């Protein structure tokens, strides 16, 4: 499920717009935090995955700032109460992940060897023998 959210954040899709707003707000906040209810298509997607109609909460906190202005390492937690289990119980559910993000929606370039990345991407796939 975490990979789905990460992929959605990387897309220009409106689905993750509300979550992106919380992430950017945490980068900008003096205390490095943002939180509240998640709404819109992203919340609907989450509810469909958990099979619970309860509200989806989001908490984001800044773990560290990069030298690049407007870039940070963030921890995002999505939470929901009363998520059904296979044995019929209803339990709280949370998913937590970390990501590097800049205000422009892209990851920071700090620490990335762009020459090495370019060489790796330009190599041909190994030929079959």
Amino acid 97: pLDDT: 93
End-to-end CA separation in angstroms for the chain:
38
Amino acid 127: pLDDT: 52
Amino acid 9: pLDDT: 52
Amino acid 11: pLDDT: 47
Amino acid 18: pLDDT: 85
pTM: 0.75
Amino acid 3: pLDDT: 46
Extract the runs of DSSP E, i.e. beta strands, from the chain. 33-38, 56-65, 71-84, 90-102
Amino acid 6: pLDDT: 47
Provide block-wise average pLDDT over 10 residues at a time, the chain (129 residues).
Answer: 49 66 95 94 92 96 96 96 96 95 90 68 57
Question: Taking CA 6 as the corner, what is the angle to CA 117 and CA 89, rounded to the nearest 5 degrees?
Answer: 150
Amino acid 109: pLDDT: 87
């Amino acid at each position: 499920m975490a990979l789905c959210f990460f992929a959605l954040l990387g897309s220009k899709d409106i689905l993750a717009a509300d979550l992106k707003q919380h992430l950017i707000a945490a980068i900008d906040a003096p205390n490095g935090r943002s939180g509240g209810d998640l709404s819109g298509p992203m919340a609907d997607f989450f509810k469909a995955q958990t099979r619970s109609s309860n509200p989806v909460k989001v908490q984001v906190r800044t773990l560290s700032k990069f030298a690049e202005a407007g870039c940070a390492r963030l921890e995002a937690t999505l939470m929901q109460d009363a998520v059904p289990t296979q044995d019929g119980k209803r339990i709280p559910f949370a998913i937590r992940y970390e990501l590097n993000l800049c205000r422009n929606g892209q990851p920071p370039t700090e620490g990335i060897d762009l020459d090495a990345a370019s060489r790796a991407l330009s190599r041909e796939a190994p030929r079959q023998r």
